[in-house]
Chain A
Amino acid sequence: MILEVRGLAAGYQGSDVIRAIDFHVDAGEAVMIIGSNGAGKTTLFRSMLGLLPASSGQVRFQGSEIVGMPAQRIARLGISFVPAERHLFPRMTVLENLYLGAYPDRPDPETDDMVMDLFPRLAERRRQHAGTLSGGEQQMLAMGRALMGKPRLLVLDEPTTGLAPKLAAEAYQALDVLRGKGLTVLVAEQQVPLAMAFSDRGYVMENGVFELEGSSEELANNPQVRRSYLGVT
């Protein structure tokens, strides 16, 4: 088990948005958390990764407790997070953004090559400022930057936000390649069909709690999931 979350609760201004969250991710797995807008997926990730204080619960990463650690320390332990807003460095070049992903180390040439192979568009635009990239390119850069830190676990919050269907599919193709290389991936998604085709298992989040869990196949056949998230009536 690479990540284990137990009884996690967190929120804003004293009221919990998410409650009693239990889940885990095994090494090499791809796990999805699906749910509608406002279900609490982002709050879950932010509290898990030190960007928002958790009000109770435990988060263990590779056996060590990480609740209460600042985000920068968690990042250095080997979890790379790609937030929905991406948080790139707009007035720095693509290359500078990527190199900072390896902070505090120098960028590893092999990882650099791997990222450039995965996203050839970034190689073309290496000297361009991140702020001038299109939405799809920015998403690629955010993923590339996250990979430069050679994470053990890649966490993505709605990687398809604001992307045209073709680009959204491309983002998941890249994730498929990364999985093939043995990377463990945890993704929160509203575009359920893409996430479902990609992941092994999943959890369904509603109103701050997990309502359902199962293999992606089980969830795809669940009538409730089909109705709410796959548009099948």
Chain B
Amino acid sequence: MIANILDGIVLGLQFGLLAAGLTLVYGLGGVLNLAYGQMAVLSAIATLFAIDAGVPTLPAVGVGLAVGVLLGLIFDQTILRPIYRIQGEARVLLSLLLTLGVAFIVDGYLTWRYPTEGLSIRIGGGPIDILGVPMRRGSIVASVITLLALGALFAFFRGTTLGRAVRSVIEDEEGARLVGIDPRRMLRVILALSGFLAALVAITQSMVRPVTVTAGFGITVFALIVTVVGGLGSVTGAMFAGIILGMVNNIAASYIGTFLSLLILLGAAALTILIRPSGLLGVKE
């Protein structure tokens, strides 16, 4: 049980970080990016190719993260351009359709071209005992990286002018413009950050289990569930929801079965929509 909870927290933090990348783009731009998982997979594959080409692991991870950032920026400059011109609900719908299209194309290409590839970063050494539970080193390294990233993310939003400017656009776009903040520029920053987070989660995941070319939709679905439960536009909510759902997922997987854990997660999302449509910490509209 303790092992499940610990593993669940590790997984949950990653869920949370993953969802943060999705929820921020929604909160800021009213865009839901269904190709988010494919961004993560492409970054993982880039890392894999770098490693296969003989690049040492650490720089190869750097390549993967850079690809994530680049993908975010490319998204911002290409597919999201027509979306930004539309206001309100139509914008969300158009973003769903266009990014879903991109997701299918990327997914199809990857499974056709590299059907058996998968990124798996192995971290050597035996397990380490934590609270009497032997934890794999890969899990521990992944958790430490995730925690550091979370800390950095909060420091960015609370402590830097740019981070505050991004939050101000989520809070009140007109207010932000009145103090001289360009919402469009903030959105570009956030898409780069979103790509970075997708890449980071894919890479840390690969330290625990392989990230295959077909993992994209699964990643998007997890991120969406966590986002819905945590509340659209709330990073703190995404973290809470991530940890709760991570534990639920692991406990359900070990006592009931993996095949049902996804159903239980979806159930949690549905229940949240029924009871608290704005999510745990979402903004009420």
A95, chain B: closest CB distance, angstroms: 10
Is there contact, CB below 8 Å, between A72 and B180?
yes
From A73, A86, A101, A106, contact of B179 by CB (8 A): A101
- Once bound together, how far apart are the Cα atoms of A41 and B26, in whole Å? 34
Is there contact, CB below 8 Å, between A72 and B171?
no
B84, chain A: closest CB distance, angstroms: 14
A48, chain B: closest CB distance, angstroms: 13
State whether the Cβ of A227 lies closer than 8 Å to any Cβ in chain B.
no
- Once bound together, how far apart are the Cα atoms of A149 and B177, in whole Å? 13
CB-CB contacts below 8 Å: B163-210 with A: 164-165, 167-168, 171-172, 174-183
Listed by A's residue number, 26 A-B pairs whose Cβ atoms lie within 8 Å are A70-B182, A71-B177, A72-B181, A73-B180, A75-B179, A80-B178, A81-B178, A83-B174, A87-B175, A87-B178, A88-B175, A89-B167, A89-B172, A89-B176, A91-B171, A92-B168, A99-B161, A99-B164, A100-B165, A100-B176, A101-B179, A103-B179, A103-B180, A104-B165, A146-B178, A149-B179
Is there contact, CB below 8 Å, between B171 and A90?
yes
Number of A-B contacts (CB under 8 A): 67
Q: Enumerate chain B residues within 8 angstroms of A83, measured Cβ to Cβ.
A: 174, 178
Is there contact, CB below 8 Å, between A72 and B182?
yes
Q: Enumerate chain B residues within 8 angstroms of A89, measured Cβ to Cβ.
A: 167-168, 171-172, 175-176
Is there contact, CB below 8 Å, between A51 and B180?
no
Instruction: Give chain B's interface residues, CB within 8 Å of chain A.
Output: 161, 164-165, 167-168, 171-172, 174-183
Q: B-facing mask of A132-152, CB < 8 A → 1, else 0?
A: 000000000000011001000
Q: Enumerate chain B residues within 8 angstroms of A76, measured Cβ to Cβ.
A: 180
- Once bound together, how far apart are the Cα atoms of A96 and B179, in whole Å? 12
Among A72, A75, A101, the one with the most B-chain Cβ atoms within 10 Å of its Cβ is A72
Q: Is the interface of B mostly helix, strand, loop or mixed?
A: helix
A131, chain B: closest CB distance, angstroms: 9
Is there contact, CB below 8 Å, between A92 and B164?
yes
CB-CB contacts below 8 Å: A28-76 with B: 51, 70-73, 75-76
* 7 tightest A-B CB contacts, nearest first: A87-B175, A89-B171, A75-B180, A76-B180, A71-B177, A72-B177, A72-B182
Is there contact, CB below 8 Å, between B178 and A104?
no
Known: A96-B164, A106-B161. A87 touches B172 (CB 8 A): yes
Instruction: Give chain A's interface residues, CB within 8 Å of chain B.
Output: 51, 70-73, 75-76, 80-81, 83, 86-92, 96, 99-101, 103-104, 106, 145-146, 149
- Once bound together, how far apart are the Cα atoms of A216 and B164, in whole Å? 41
From B168, B171, B172, B178, contact of A71 by CB (8 A): B178
- Once bound together, how far apart are the Cα atoms of A99 and B165, in whole Å? 10
A96, chain B: closest CB distance, angstroms: 6
- Once bound together, how far apart are the Cα atoms of A96 and B183, in whole Å? 18
Is there contact, CB below 8 Å, between B171 and A103?
no
- Once bound together, how far apart are the Cα atoms of A101 and B180, in whole Å? 8
Known: A88-B172, A92-B171. A51 touches B165 (CB 8 A): no
B161, chain A: closest CB distance, angstroms: 7
A143, chain B: closest CB distance, angstroms: 12
- Once bound together, how far apart are the Cα atoms of A89 and B175, in whole Å? 7
Is there contact, CB below 8 Å, between A92 and B167?
yes
B175, chain A: closest CB distance, angstroms: 3
- Once bound together, how far apart are the Cα atoms of A81 and B178, in whole Å? 7
Chain B residue at minimal CB-CB distance from A148: B179
Chain A residue at minimal CB-CB distance from B182: A72
Q: Enumerate chain A residues within 8 angstroms of B178, measured Cβ to Cβ.
A: 71-72, 75, 80-81, 83, 87, 146
- Once bound together, how far apart are the Cα atoms of A103 and B179, in whole Å? 6
Among A76, A86, A91, A100, the one with the most B-chain Cβ atoms within 10 Å of its Cβ is A100
From B172, B174, B181, B183, contact of A103 by CB (8 A): B181
- Once bound together, how far apart are the Cα atoms of A103 and B163, in whole Å? 12
Is there contact, CB below 8 Å, between A75 and B161?
no
Q: Enumerate chain B residues within 8 angstroms of A100, measured Cβ to Cβ.
A: 164-165, 168, 176, 179, 181
Q: Enumerate chain A residues within 8 angstroms of B180, measured Cβ to Cβ.
A: 72-73, 75-76, 103-104, 149
Is there contact, CB below 8 Å, between A90 and B172?
yes
Is there contact, CB below 8 Å, between A103 and B177?
no
Is there contact, CB below 8 Å, between A51 and B172?
no
Chain A residue at minimal CB-CB distance from B283: A91
Q: Enumerate chain B residues within 8 angstroms of A106, measured Cβ to Cβ.
A: 161
- Once bound together, how far apart are the Cα atoms of A72 and B178, in whole Å? 6
